[in-house]
A and B are shown apart, each in its own frame.
Chain A
């Protein structure tokens, strides 16, 4: 059954309080390798039939209108996986 993965990230220029909190925790653990952490969302949409252009177009619409809020987030990936 095909699965379509949609990745959504907070806009790069906006504060990501969750990522900042995790970055703070890493710093407290003494991990100094990473200069930043950002947290986004991954959606997995299951499709019963084949994934054609119409389905992909629909996913892109839903990703833009429902799964993300363009004021605060960007859709950074729409990918079909098996």
Chain B
């Protein structure tokens, strides 16, 4: 079967085309979706891409989280569809209460762009099954509002239930509590993270690795995981 993965474009999205390309490179068919529509066009999984929707006005991701299509996104997420939020997409998922906690301005107040080492803390989700538990990967990170926060009770629940999907390794680039880079929901179908796996899927365009410049393709596993999740759910 050809797995169809939708990428929703919001006003101010800027990594939607990269996400579509990553999906194609991983072996699925990308489907461009529009924030103002109520139609998911029958896709099997969804990506909310990075960018600066509505100029980060109000709060990052807040206005996009009120978009017409988010009604269908929430329904699909509740029904178990794999949904990945990357950077601004992660901010939308927390604003839409599909993931717990919130994201605030980086603790050092500056926009940051670096190739970031992450540890896969939960390899049992629709977007991480291609990785080993505890595996370290490198993907680009680029954000201004990437500081993950939650109250003490939420944080202890997240940690206790294994909902931390990714943790920053080596450097905490933005002051996130517990070095949290990404989360999953209880069911494991909704995952959000600040780093950008879609920018690490193709040799020549990814992060540097010890073997060659820009050869890192660690992000590919996100998309192949989702393809596997869809295929095994259909089987």
Q: Which A residues form the contact surface with B (CB < 8 A)?
A: 10-11, 13-15, 17-18, 20-21, 66-67, 69, 71-72
| Chain B residues within 8 Å of A15, by CB | 104, 107, 147, 149, 175
> What's the count of A-B pairs with C-beta under 8 Å?
42
Q: Do residues A17 and B105 form an inter-chain contact, with CB atoms below 8 A?
A: yes
Most chain B CB inside 10 Å of its own CB: which residue of A11, A20, A69:
A69
A71 contact set on B, CB distance < 8 A? 94, 100-102, 149-151, 154
Q: Which residues of A contact B95 (CB under 8 A)?
A: 69
Instruction: Evaluate whether A17 and B107 lie within 8 angstroms (CB atoms) in the complex, with A69-B102, A71-B102 already known.
Output: yes
Task: Tell me whether A14 and B109 are in contact in the complex, defined as CB-CB below 8 angstroms, given that A66-B66, A69-B59, A69-B62 are known contacts.
Answer: no
Q: Which of B151-190 contact A (CB under 8 A)?
A: 151, 154, 175
Interfacial residues, chain B to chain A (CB-CB below 8 A): 58-59, 62, 66, 94-95, 100-102, 104-109, 147, 149-151, 154, 175
Distance, CA A11 to CA B104, complexed state (A): 11
Interface SS, B side = loop
> What are the residues of chain B within 8 A of A14 when measuring CB–CB?
104, 149
Residues of A within 8 A of B102 (CB): 69, 71-72
CA separation between A18 and B149, bound complex, in Å?
Answer: 15
Q: List 6 A-B contacts (CB under 8 A).
A: A15-B175, A17-B104, A17-B106, A20-B109, A66-B58, A72-B102
